[in-house]
A and B are shown apart, each in its own frame.
Chain A
């Protein structure tokens, strides 16, 4: 890369000199002790887990879940479990909800946690003025009543997913008394929760140091101290774990994952998580993107090859927006790679590689590993069947704006997370016309989805969503690509339980016995 010059030797010498001056304590090389150091892939912008863009960032939930508790807990296999609520449910007439609040829990400042906190948190979440992005769910509840440890509330309509949201984005309980006393900015400076770890020190863009909450209701955590270092550059994260400065890191290139896990003293795990790579199709372009063209675009993509070669096998090819861990996953729906059929469909529509259909595809770059490379590969495959797509890179901010104003390009790649695995939060919001998050808006699909939102019979509900997935796949209204795997590399003396939701909570890490 560069030939060592006199200057380089000088620089190397200076480095060595300084190291010798500060001694071995300057670099963390020691084995994992009471401190767990994580080289984390995103920066923590703000502590309030219920407002702003960071509230809907799936990765950051790992930190939020350390400091705060959700109303309802979620195991790493996505199953729900009691959180700060020990039991919950709908009244028989489906017009009211009831929740039992856990007793004997204290906030990090020692004050007792009460049902008041739960009610206040729910009411606050429903107030759009706070900037909670999920108010449309929380505003379904009103008229809260507290009776001992039980909280009841009236529901606007029956929502089969309501309690799942309590384990999902912005479903956190915050301290009423403390928050009202210190205000939003005061809370950011010194946040408290009921979670397994307490905030010890925080430096934005640098690190967050947590210390164990000895009085945690779920038992004392394994590490006395947990440090999240915010290292947003993937290559720098690789260097962090390789040099021994960090004990664990995640979301690194798959090639590096393969290399590092073979290294002595390191090991790794890469499990599929609830993040899906998918391509939106814009219904405004239905004139040129006819059913045949859409299906051809679907069939031309060799998802197997992309997963195998580009992602080194870490990923699961998908036919729909439902991954195997999701409730409405239907293995019988298949979209088989068939370039010949795709070319024939395009030819029938009047296009060929010599006379291609010109279109555009938008993609993120570096948001997920290999996203940009993947789209380049897909465009290459499309080119062979007579679909010539120009690539445009956008940032997430722009994607959101284009999506909510229904101005996405004919094809738009995005990464759709769905930690609760419910079909409403995947196929539902992505395909339902009135939702601001759909790009394909059509009456036929809406007619199928409409009745499912309030369906009280769970079996019928799931079957209904499976039918939607099948129909959408047959029509080629969206392109489901693959389910991502999350690479995690860590020191061999650690034990890590991977979380399918992708939230790598420190409580899932322990020392090997």
Chain B
């Protein structure tokens, strides 16, 4: 346990450095961006004085370093500023939207792992036969299809030609449910409101699949390769001599050893998913941080973009920390340092 504590302490120290770096980079990047949030707000006939007054109001007239200092001091106090285009507290907005994206990304990740895992195992079981070539071939094709193409295909097939699923949003707008948290799916399940949970799931099916299918293809690729390699290891050969069935060899023996790299990959992919839902959220009008991010960039909503990037950075670090700690806890070799 002491090793884990030491790793944790070191990682937290590094995380602070990383977050500070992220804050600096995003701040500088946004200040060199053309497109002035104030220019967006002024209407026909506004005077130069009006513009100056508005700029002062959002602190945009201060020197860069001062602006950064003010913002950073605020962030440390938990004050991320007020969104220029939405007139709301940035932290509050993030805490409303992030759960939607988290639920979406988590579900997509789970589906991808389940689907990818199953296919990889099936592919390993039939290895050497024509079926394996088919699995590899189809998977190769799937790797070349980006998520937005899946999304478009789903809208066409499941939304229009055979309209069985709701096309947009996170839940049926006519359902009035007083949610306490913003994790609607989790909360509705916990409170036993299964009809509502079903509605939320129905809304999630298409975006989740669009995000999950490309990831599943990657997982199939990695896991299948790791499995093939594990199948050639001595302990599997020994087990085979002992007369274990093929499926027991694959699932019982090889999988246990092949699962490590796949899980590490899934951790990385999970953070990419959280930041990569932008286009899918837009197509399905899903109210997560992705949908908000595009609007924020278009409106040059500096405080909101800064908050978004910072929160994403923190999440990225957290997930990686969890994956690393998991690896340390699982792997006895790593536990002794090295």
- Asked whether any CB of chain B lies closer than 8 Å to the CB of A204, the reply is yes
Contacts of B145 in A (CB 8 A): 2
- Asked whether any CB of chain A lies closer than 8 Å to the CB of B163, the reply is yes
- Asked whether any CB of chain A lies closer than 8 Å to the CB of B243, the reply is no
Judge whether A231 and B168 touch: CB under 8 Å. yes
Judge whether A203 and B170 touch: CB under 8 Å. yes
CA distance A435 to B284 in the complex (A): 41
Contacts of A233 in B (CB 8 A): 282-283, 285
Judge whether B51 and A404 touch: CB under 8 Å. yes
Q: Looking at the complex, which one of B45, B157, B167 makes contact with A136 (CB distance below 8 Å)? A: B45
Q: Looking at the complex, which one of A16, A227, A240 makes contact with B174 (CB distance below 8 Å)? A: A227
Judge whether B160 and A243 touch: CB under 8 Å. yes
- Asked whether any CB of chain B lies closer than 8 Å to the CB of A396, the reply is yes
Give residues of chain B (76-102) contacting chain A, Cβ–Cβ below 8 Å: 82, 84-89, 93, 96-97
- Asked whether any CB of chain B lies closer than 8 Å to the CB of A486, the reply is no
Q: Which single residue of chain A is at the shortest CB-CB distance from B169?
A: A206
Judge whether B45 and A243 touch: CB under 8 Å. no
Q: Looking at the complex, which one of B43, B154, B281 makes contact with A134 (CB distance below 8 Å)? A: B43
- Asked whether any CB of chain A lies closer than 8 Å to the CB of B295, the reply is yes
Tell which of B17-25, B60-68, B201-209, B322-330 binds the partner.
B201-209
Given A2-B145, A52-B85, are A39 and B155 neighbors across the interface (CB < 8 Å)? no
CA distance A133 to B41 in the complex (A): 6
- Asked whether any CB of chain A lies closer than 8 Å to the CB of B218, the reply is no
Judge whether A396 and B298 touch: CB under 8 Å. yes
CA distance A28 to B203 in the complex (A): 12
Q: Which single residue of chain B is at the shortest CB-CB distance from A453?
A: B45
- Asked whether any CB of chain A lies closer than 8 Å to the CB of B46, the reply is yes
Tell which of A7-15, A305-313, A459-467 binds the partner.
A7-15
Q: Looking at the complex, which one of B44, B54, B86 makes contact with A46 (CB distance below 8 Å)? A: B86
Judge whether B88 and A188 touch: CB under 8 Å. yes
Contacts of A200 in B (CB 8 A): 176
- Asked whether any CB of chain B lies closer than 8 Å to the CB of A229, the reply is yes
CA distance A43 to B87 in the complex (A): 14
Judge whether B285 and A53 touch: CB under 8 Å. no
Give min CB distance, B31 to chain A, whole Å: 14
Given A14-B205, A205-B292, A230-B285, are A128 and B43 neighbors across the interface (CB < 8 Å)? no
Q: Looking at the complex, which one of B46, B97, B166 makes contact with A26 (CB distance below 8 Å)? A: B166
Judge whether B46 and A229 touch: CB under 8 Å. no
Contact with A along B34-55 (1 / 0, CB 8 A): 1111011111111110110110
What is the total number of residues of chain B having a CB less than 8 Å from a CB of chain A? 78
CA distance A398 to B300 in the complex (A): 9
Judge whether A240 and B42 touch: CB under 8 Å. no
Contacts of B48 in A (CB 8 A): 436
Given A236-B168, A243-B167, A436-B46, are A26 and B198 neighbors across the interface (CB < 8 Å)? yes
Tell which of A17-25, A315-323, A335-343 binds the partner.
A17-25
CA distance A136 to B282 in the complex (A): 36
Contacts of B164 in A (CB 8 A): 15-16, 19, 27
CA distance A15 to B44 in the complex (A): 50
CA distance A243 to B34 in the complex (A): 41
Contacts of A204 in B (CB 8 A): 86, 93, 96-97, 287, 292
Judge whether B85 and A429 touch: CB under 8 Å. no
Judge whether B168 and A39 touch: CB under 8 Å. yes
Given A11-B209, A27-B164, are A137 and B45 neighbors across the interface (CB < 8 Å)? yes
- Asked whether any CB of chain A lies closer than 8 Å to the CB of B334, the reply is no
- Asked whether any CB of chain B lies closer than 8 Å to the CB of A265, the reply is no
Contacts of A188 in B (CB 8 A): 86-88
Give residues of chain A (13-56) contacting chain B, Cβ–Cβ below 8 Å: 14-16, 18-19, 21-22, 25-29, 35, 37, 39, 43, 45-46, 48, 51-54, 56
Given A19-B164, A397-B299, are A133 and B42 neighbors across the interface (CB < 8 Å)? yes
Q: Which single residue of chain B is at the shortest CB-CB distance from A200?
A: B176
CA distance A230 to B96 in the complex (A): 17
Given A52-B84, A239-B159, are A436 and B42 neighbors across the interface (CB < 8 Å)? yes
Contacts of A415 in B (CB 8 A): none
Given A12-B158, A185-B89, A397-B299, are A18 and B205 neighbors across the interface (CB < 8 Å)? yes
Judge whether B168 and A7 touch: CB under 8 Å. no
Add 8 more A-B contacts to A43-B295, A233-B285 (CB < 8 A): A5-B141, A45-B85, A46-B87, A235-B155, A395-B35, A397-B40, A400-B40, A435-B44
Q: Which 3 A-B pairs have the closest CB atoms?
A: A133-B43, A206-B287, A22-B198
Q: List 28 A-B contacts (CB under 8 A).
A: A7-B213, A11-B209, A11-B213, A18-B201, A18-B205, A19-B165, A27-B164, A45-B299, A131-B54, A133-B42, A136-B45, A185-B87, A204-B86, A205-B286, A230-B285, A232-B285, A233-B283, A236-B168, A240-B168, A396-B40, A397-B37, A400-B35, A400-B40, A403-B39, A405-B39, A435-B44, A436-B45, A437-B44
Spell out B's residues near A (CB within 8 Å): 34-37, 39-48, 50-51, 53-54, 57, 82, 84-89, 93, 96-97, 115, 138, 141-142, 145, 152-160, 163-170, 172-174, 176, 195, 198-199, 201-202, 205-206, 209, 213, 281-288, 291-292, 295, 298-300
